[in-house]
Chain A
Amino acid sequence: MSTRPENTTSYDADAHGWFGGPEAGWGGRFMPEALIAALDELDEAWREAMADPAFVGEFDTILREYAGLPSPLFLAERLSEQVGCRVLLKREDLNHTGAHKIRNVLGQALLTRRMGKTRVIAETGAGQHGVASATAAAYFGLDCTVYMGAVDTRRQALNVARMHLLGAKVVPVESGSATLKDAINEALRDWVASVDHTAYLFGTAAGPHPFPSLVRDFTRGIGDEARAQCLERFSRLPDAVAACVGGGSNAIGMFTAFLDDADVALYGFEPGGEGVDTPRHAATIHAGQRGVLHGARTYVLQDEDGQTVESHSISAGLDYPGVGPQHAHLAATGRAAYLPVTDDEAMQALAMLARTEGIIAAIESAHAVAGGLRVAERLAAEKGPEATVLINLSGRGDKDMGTVVDYFGLGDPDRVTAEPVGDPS
């Protein structure tokens, strides 16, 4: 669960936040001057904290005793039988609040307390980061305001209720497309006006430097744990690692431990929505162009004038037209492959996982399952049953049950059969 900075990889950003150097130009800091001092302050505080054994030790203790970490590495035997090789699931769905997000917010909130700030703001799409932020704020006794697109407050009403119960103020954002990107804009506006006492708990490994690296450092425990668990249990590393990618925090948290393991293939599965040949998707790396969004240069879904294009995914948590800049760098260098998974493929994988292993995943994570099983089938054919695919199950599906009920036509109280709806295979 180490978060120490000496565990860096050859794919890290430089001191200005450039991944691949200023020539490659991924990342950086494209931000109003008014926020530069706060970003500099955060950068310095984060570097000092990560080099301070007391901070790292306290973070590890909170993760262990409060968040329930390390999360288990689960050998999914029935899934393995189906695909013909070993399928491992990193069970981040078992974390406190139900997702990998808790690692990031506990780290950032601990840093907020260290910096002497009393209020946190956050943005959220699916609500998972909002719930985690509200949780961390309650734990540390900080005021908390969460910005959420008005479209998302409606499709994630249960999570809004959770945030309220935890004492957070939830602000529905009506501007723009009223989804995650607009919630980020609104949170940034709040931050410009409140930066003297407020920390912005950024929800994914995107945004201006140092957020992509800082969020990665707080979530990299996913991969550090999984790598050690895999070696301990199977005396080998996986052949492939799979994670879903919206902004990409769970994926970078998983990938980082393996970046310098050249024999481990890394796969990020993007939300292909209704298909990447339609306008209704959020496959940013697959179909976006190089651009600047929310403070970083990365792949962006945009039109020919550089206006951000509205994205779509059945998963609110993946419905974002940008992606963390380190993923852009990993894609551009070929270190990781990024492939789309459609809404339908993700939902079928969700149903299959539920019935095969008794695990109801978040729809985000179902994208990783769908893509990971695709990779597993190919590796099984190439390498046989010893081939090993590690899939990050980044969150659980409680929050998505409304969408699941609608998609599969479940939830009719007069329905007498418990038979599956549709073909999950």
Chain B
Amino acid sequence: MTTRTAFEKARADGRAALVGYLPAGFPDVAGGIDALRAMVDAGCDVIEIGLPYSDPVMDGPTIQAAAQQALEGGVRTRDVLRTVEAVAATGTPTVVMTYWNPVERYGVERFAADLASAGGAGLITPDLTPDFAPEWIAAADRHDLDKVFLVAPSSTDERIAMTTAACRGFVYATAVMGVTGARTTTSDLAEPLVARTRAATDLPIGVGLGVSTGDQAAELARYADGVIVGSAFVRCLLDHPGDRAAGLRALGALVEDLAAGVRRA
């Protein structure tokens, strides 16, 4: 399975794809699986499952709080793979977003094999760029896994070319210089970055960091192939700590709003 299929299907429908993120094990492993399935049901085209990590340098306070809660709840790497298996079984392409050390500790080849066995589509690696990723690239290629590397507004054209050449599935464009977290306005850095990236590759380009409303999604969908949302979904669950049903309702409603947004670009 590759995420590219979902992007191409969305493109055939004349719209952008909606990519939804939650960390595994949040609020607990079973609750996380329920939430991710609810996101599939409400209209996410690709699911991104975070592997909670103790030192998430790219995450803002919302995602870090959720990941911390998952770690305190005892989530393990094997639980992340179990979550992938449950979500991928819905037929929705499912990728893992992970900082590098947990993969290295698990064993790069072993992780690739187990992720592929679980039905996972690949990895997004926020602290691993292709020039330091030969082992992962080789393992991913052996198991037909997506390699989603990031491009940033600060990336040179040379680095965008190098990065996109190493990507499989889609390219993750970080729309702002900063960490994850919902923002009231989208970045004016996103569109030029997408244009520069599009000049380097035919792969779909997903734009992430900061989107929390259907209107913002619609704005991004004018020029991006995918809209990536994380913190806003996490917030839905954080805001309803004692009431899972209410959290899931809020999550579903937000997915629907964003799914409508990517369709009215």
- Listed in ascending order, the chain A residues whose CB lies under 8 Å from chain B are 16, 28-38, 175-176, 181-182, 185, 188-189, 192-193, 195-196, 289-295, 297, 300, 302, 304-308
Q: Kindly state whether residue B77 has any CB partner on chain A within 8 Å.
A: yes
Which of B40-48, B174-182, B216-224 lies at the interface with chain A?
B174-182
Give the distance to chain B from A319, nearest Cβ to Cβ, in Å: 15
Contact partner, A306, options B102, B129, B150, Cβ 8 Å: B102
> Of B132, B154, B178, which one neighbours A37 at CB under 8 angstroms?
B154
- Within 8 Å by CB of B150, from A33, A188, A290, lies A33
Q: Is the CB of A189 within 8 A of B179?
A: yes
Taking each of A28, A33, A181, A300, which has the highest tally of chain B beta carbons within 10 Å of its own beta carbon?
A: A33
- Cα–Cα, bound, A86→B226 (Å): 69
- Closest Cβ–Cβ distance, residue B82 to chain A (whole Å): 14
Contacts of B54 in A (CB 8 A): 176, 307-308
* Residues 42-80 (chain B) with a chain A CB within 8 angstroms: 53-58, 60-61, 64, 68, 71, 76-77
**What is the CB-to-nearest-CB distance from A340 to chain B, in angstroms, rounded to a whole number?**
23
CA–CA, A181 and B53, complex, Å: 13
Contact B100 A37 (CB under 8 A): no
Whole-angstrom CA separation of A290 from B101 in the bound complex: 9
Residue of A34, A181, A290, A304 touching B177 (CB-CB under 8 A): A34
Q: Per a CB cutoff under 8 Å, which of B53, B103, B127, B155 touches A31? A: B127
**Interface CB pairs A-B, < 8 A, 26:** A16-B131, A29-B129, A30-B100, A30-B127, A30-B128, A32-B150, A32-B174, A33-B149, A33-B151, A36-B159, A175-B61, A175-B68, A176-B55, A181-B55, A185-B56, A189-B178, A189-B179, A193-B178, A292-B127, A293-B101, A295-B127, A302-B101, A305-B76, A305-B77, A305-B105, A308-B101
Our pick among B55, B71, B154, B155 for the contact of A294 (Cβ within 8 Å) is: B55
Question: Which listed residue (A33, A176, A181) contacts B159, Cβ 8 A?
Answer: A33
B174 touches A33 (CB 8 A): yes
Contact status A307-B102, CB under 8 Å: yes
Chain B positions within 8 Å of A295 at CB level = 127
Q: Please tell me if the beta carbons of B57 and A188 are within 8 angstroms of each other in the complex.
A: yes
Q: Which of A29, A189, A192, A291 is close to B132, meaning CB atoms less than 8 Å apart?
A: A29
B141 contacts the other chain (Cβ, under 8 Å)?
no
* CB-CB nearest in chain B for A209: B132
- Which 9 A-B pairs rank lowest in CB-CB distance, beginning with the nearest? A306-B105, A34-B152, A306-B102, A193-B178, A37-B154, A292-B101, A306-B101, A308-B54, A307-B54
The smallest C-beta distance from B55 to any residue of chain A, in angstroms, reads 5
A192 touches B105 (CB 8 A): no
Evaluate whether A305 and B106 lie within 8 angstroms (CB atoms) in the complex, with A29-B132, A34-B174, A195-B177 already known: yes
Q: Which residues of B contact A192 (CB under 8 A)?
A: 57-58, 177-179
B154 with A195: CB separation less than 8 A? yes
A30, A35, A36, A305, most chain B CB atoms within 10 A = A305
Listed in ascending order, the chain B residues whose CB lies under 8 Å from chain A are 53-58, 60-61, 64, 68, 71, 76-77, 100-106, 126-129, 131-132, 149-156, 159, 163, 174, 177-179
In the bound complex, residues from chain A placing their C-beta under 8 Å from that of B101 are: 291-293, 300, 302, 306, 308
Q: Are B155 and A292 in contact (CB under 8 A)?
A: no
CB A191 to nearest CB in B, in angstroms, measures: 9
Contact in complex: B57, A32 (CB < 8 Å) = yes
> B61's closest neighbor in chain A, by CB?
A175
Given A33-B155, A307-B102, 13 other A-B residues pairs in contact with their CB atoms under 8 A: A30-B100, A32-B58, A32-B127, A32-B152, A33-B151, A34-B153, A36-B152, A36-B155, A37-B155, A193-B178, A292-B101, A306-B102, A308-B54
The smallest C-beta distance from A27 to any residue of chain B, in angstroms, reads 10
B174, closest chain A residue (CB): A34
| Bound Cα distance A176, B69 (Å) | 11
Q: When the two chains form their complex, are residues B104 and A292 in contact, meaning their CB atoms are under 8 A apart?
A: yes
In the bound complex, residues from chain A placing their C-beta under 8 Å from that of B126 are: 32
The listed residue (B53, B60, B106, B154) touching A36 by CB distance below 8 A is B154
Q: A29-B132, A34-B154, A305-B76 are in contact. Are A189 and B104 (CB under 8 A)?
A: no
- B179 to chain A: which residues have CB within 8 Å? 189, 192-193
B102 touches A305 (CB 8 A): yes
CB <8 Å contact, B149 and A30: no
Bound together, the chains give a CA A185 to CA B99 distance in angstroms of 13
> Using Cβ atoms and an 8 Å threshold, which residues of chain B touch A175?
61, 64, 68
Cβ–Cβ < 8 Å partners of B100 in chain A: 30, 292
Contact A307 B104 (CB under 8 A): no
Q: How far is the CA of A20 from the CA of B159 in the complex (A)?
A: 25
Within the complex, the shortest CB–CB distance from B58 to chain A, in Å, comes to 5
The residues of B that contact A291 with a CB separation of less than 8 Å are: 101, 104-105
Q: Which residues of B contact A302 (CB under 8 A)?
A: 101, 105
B132 touches A30 (CB 8 A): yes
Which of A33, A176, A305, A308 meets B129, CB within 8 Å? A33
The residue on B at minimum CB distance from A193 is: B178
| CB atoms of B163 and A33 under 8 A apart | yes
By a CB distance below 8 angstroms, the chain A residues around B178 are: 189, 192-193
Residues of A within 8 A of B55 (CB): 176, 181-182, 185, 293-294, 308
List of B residues within 8 angstroms of A307 by Cβ: 53-54, 71, 102
Q: Which residue of A lies closest to B179 (CB)?
A: A189
- Measured CB to CB, the closest approach of chain B to A279, in angstroms, equals 15
Complex interface: chain B residues within 8 A of A196 (CB): 177
Q: Could you say which residues of chain B place their CB within 8 Å of the CB of A293?
A: 55, 101
The CA of A308 and the CA of B177, in the complex, are separated in Å by 26
Roughly how many angstroms separate A182 CA and B57 CA in the complex, as a whole number?
9
Q: In whole angstroms, how far apart are the Cα atoms of A302 and B101 in the complex?
A: 10
Give the docked Cα–Cα distance between A38 and B128 (Å). 16
- Max chain A Cβ within 10 angstroms of own Cβ: one of B53, B57, B105: B57
Q: How far is the CB of B2 from chain A (nearest CB, A)?
A: 22
Nearest to A174 among chain B residues (CB) is B61
A63 to chain B, nearest CB (A): 32
Q: Which of B53, B128, B177 contacts A193 (CB 8 A)?
A: B177
By a CB distance below 8 angstroms, the chain A residues around B129 are: 29, 31, 33, 36
Contacts of A185 in B (CB 8 A): 55-57
Q: Is the CB of B106 within 8 A of A306?
A: yes
Assembly CA distance A76 to B55 (angstroms)? 43
Residues of A within 8 A of B57 (CB): 32, 185, 188-189, 192, 294
